[in-house]
């Protein structure tokens, strides 16, 4: 493994600041739960504060849902399912979904700014990835709503009923869209529980849904912590649970619904291998590696967190990679030049720091480009570990941060064996010039999604999901509809 000295970027250009205007998003000081078409405080009046992770400044007080609120939301969703939404013809449901999609597009800047403030992700990512993809999911599923009888689920596909949907903080709006759009297209109603640290765009989406005129109760949003999620999972009025988050909580949910008849889909963690062969187009591979692990600060379940590089090109590749990392800009998420934003929470930062320290203790070599970190907020410099062996924790555990572990291989068989040496099975990447090798690899890699000569590409028409400890069920595409159809 190489021991290249940190390479300075070719040119040390300093960019002028290009901040997006924060004023585009109005944040109410107090935010209620969205139940039965109305915003209201929690039954017991409890609230929590959501903070800007880039500055630690409090952004707003948000209602904290308790059991009574979960009861009310599930009852509202049941009523809407039985009396309005569940009976509505697909062509009418489609109109509402199109309306939501268009409203997201119209308010795209507002959504992007709010997402970056509440989550810490760079504005160029929320603006160019999260928000357009969220709108695309509603457009795509609007297209399915009146064509379900042609989707291969029989002549009269039936919805499941009330869906409880629990989402994480890494893509707050996009995960809400991934959950809500297919559920509504197929005639189900929803109770969504966003993550505690990122409630604001889910509430803005609720506002859009209210303005789109969906029947009250069709979508309900319960802000709160894991206890609200737990109450939703345990609620007997819920017919289906869709969860995205950690494998640990996923397993807990699976145990909780076992034997109850509640349908379940789980999208959990990952430890993806991004495999680069010696015949790969190197410049493209470097961009794919950077995008694979440093996109969204590495808070991505399918992140290419294990780089497997063929030994013969390891030195050259690592050299180029370090040079490229020297050009990444870390800082204000609202600056349009920023590549790496803030870590979403103090807890997540602690976890990343702990695992990175374990990497050093276990003997891997740690490297980061020169990268001053802002004084306030939660930050972690892009980090590369070389000399990583398969037994190291940083090669086995999901770090969920901007940390890349580099391992080498000599033969394709060794690459497959190392790539599959994980309990997860969500995603993988293959970089090679040979189409035949791509096919050979994809037949052997145990992952739900495999990218070839690219990484982290998403499309609503393309099913996404894993197996083994990465969960089960698919989101997106025709396969994603199956998760919301009875039978
Ligand atoms: P969690 O799995 O704890 O959170 C995901 C969602 O589930 C949140 O809305 C959370 O609420 C809720 N939740 C928490 N506990 C329960 C429960 N017992 N029953 C039902 N819902 C619950 O992820 P964390 O945010 O704590 O992140 C921890 C680690 O998980 C990360 O470091 C990362 O490794 C991994 N992760 C993986 C993700 C993925 O997409 N695969 C996404 C997020 C995290 P609340 O936010 O209030 O805790």
| pLDDT 10s digits, 433-480 | 999 999 999 999 999 999 999 999 999 999 999 989 999 999 999 999
For residues 216 and 7, give the distance between their C-alpha atoms in angstroms, rounded to a whole number.
58
The CA distances from residue 127 to 53, 458, 473, in Å, are 18, 15, 28
pLDDT band at residue 7 under the 50/70/90 scheme = very low
10: Cβ contacts below 8 Å, ≥ 6 apart: 323, 327
Q: For ligand 1, say whether the CB of 244 is within 6 Å of any of its atoms.
A: yes
* Residue % of the chain over a pLDDT of 90: 97
Which of 115, 267, 469, 475 does the annotation list as catalytic? Answer: 267
Take atom 30 of ligand 1 and give the residue whose Cα is closest. Answer: 246
Burial 87-125 (b: 16+ CB within 10 A, else e): ebebeebbebbbbbbbbbbebbbbbbbbbbbbbbbbbbb
Which of 46, 51, 231, 246 for mutating ligand 1's site (highest number of atoms within 8 Å of CB)? 246
Predicted local distance difference test score (pLDDT) of residue 11: 52
Mean pLDDT of 203-217: 98
Task: List phi, psi (to 5°) of 216.
Answer: -50, 140
Question: Considering the chain, what is the average pLDDT of its residues?
Answer: 96
Q: Is 190 a known active-site residue?
A: no
For residues 75 and 219, give the distance between their C-alpha atoms in angstroms, rounded to a whole number.
12
Predicted local distance difference test score (pLDDT) of residue 14: 80
Span 283-335, pLDDT tens digits: 999 999 999 999 999 999 999 999 999 999 999 999 999 999 999 999 999 99
Predicted local distance difference test score (pLDDT) of residue 4: 42
Centroid of ligand 1 to alpha carbon of 291 (angstroms)? 23
Predicted local distance difference test score (pLDDT) of residue 1: 37
Report the predicted TM-score, pTM, of the whole model to 2 decimal places: 0.96
Residue 446 tokens, joined:
């145990």
pLDDT band at residue 15 under the 50/70/90 scheme = confident
Predicted local distance difference test score (pLDDT) of residue 12: 60
* Residue % of the chain over a pLDDT of 70: 97
pLDDT surpassing 60 at residue 2: no
């Amino acid at each position: 493994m190489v021991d290249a000295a940190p390479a300075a970027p070719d040119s040390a250009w300093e960019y002028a600041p290009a901040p997006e205007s924060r004023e585009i998003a109005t944040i109410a000081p107090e935010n209620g739960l969205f139940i039965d078409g109305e915003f209201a405080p929690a039954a017991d009046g409890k609230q929590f504060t959501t903070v800007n992770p880039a500055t630690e400044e409090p952004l707003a007080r948000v209602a904290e849902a308790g059991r009574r609120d979960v009861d009310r939301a599930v009852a509202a969703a049941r009523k809407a399912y039985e009396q309005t939404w569940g009976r509505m013809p697909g062509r009418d449901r489609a109109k509402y979904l199109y309306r939501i999609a268009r409203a997201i597009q119209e308010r795209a800047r507002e959504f992007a700014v709010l997402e970056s403030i509440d989550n810490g992700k760079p504005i160029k990512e929320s603006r160019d990835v999260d928000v357009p993809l969220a709108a695309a999911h509603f457009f795509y599923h609007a297209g399915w709503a009146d064509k379900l009888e042609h989707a291969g689920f029989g002549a009269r596909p039936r919805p499941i009923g009330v869906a409880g949907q629990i989402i994480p903080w890494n893509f707050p709006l996009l995960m809400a869209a991934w959950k809500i759009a297919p559920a509504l297209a197929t005639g189900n109603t929803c109770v969504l529980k966003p993550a505690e640290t990122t409630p604001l765009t889910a509430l803005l989406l609720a506002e859009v849904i209210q303005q789109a005129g969906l029947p009250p109760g069709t979508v309900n949003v319960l802000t709160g912590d894991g206890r609200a999620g737990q109450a939703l999972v345990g609620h007997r009025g819920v017919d289906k649970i869709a969860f995205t988050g950690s494998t640990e909580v996923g397993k807990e949910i699976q145990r909780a619904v076992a034997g109850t008849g509640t349908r379940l889909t789980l999208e959990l963690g990952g430890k993806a291998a991004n495999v680069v062969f010696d015949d790969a187009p190197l410049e493209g591979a470097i961009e794919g590696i950077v995008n694979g692990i440093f996109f969204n600060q590495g808070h991505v379940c399918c992140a290419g967190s294990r780089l497997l590089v063929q030994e013969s090109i390891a030195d050259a590749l690592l050299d180029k990679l370090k040079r490229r990392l020297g050009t990444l800009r870390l800082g204000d998420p609202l600056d349009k030049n920023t590549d790496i934003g803030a870590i979403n929470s103090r807890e997540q930062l602690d976890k990343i720091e702990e695992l990175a320290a374990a990497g050093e203790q276990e003997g891997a070599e740690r490297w980061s480009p020169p990268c001053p970190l802002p004084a306030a907020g939660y930050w972690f410099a892009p980090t590369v570990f070389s000399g990583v062996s398969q037994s190291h924790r940083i090669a086995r555990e999901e770090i969920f941060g901007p940390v890349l572990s580099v391992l080498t291989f000599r033969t394709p068989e060794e690459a497959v064996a190392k790539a599959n040496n994980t309990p997860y099975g969500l995603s993988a990447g293959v970089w090679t010039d040979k189409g035949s090798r791509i096919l050979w690899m994809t037949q052997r890699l145990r992952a739900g999604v495999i990218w070839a000569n690219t990484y982290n590409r998403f499309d609503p028409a393309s099913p996404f999901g894993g197996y083994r400890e990465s969960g089960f069920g698919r989101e997106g595409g025709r396969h994603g509809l199956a998760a919301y159809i009875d039978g």
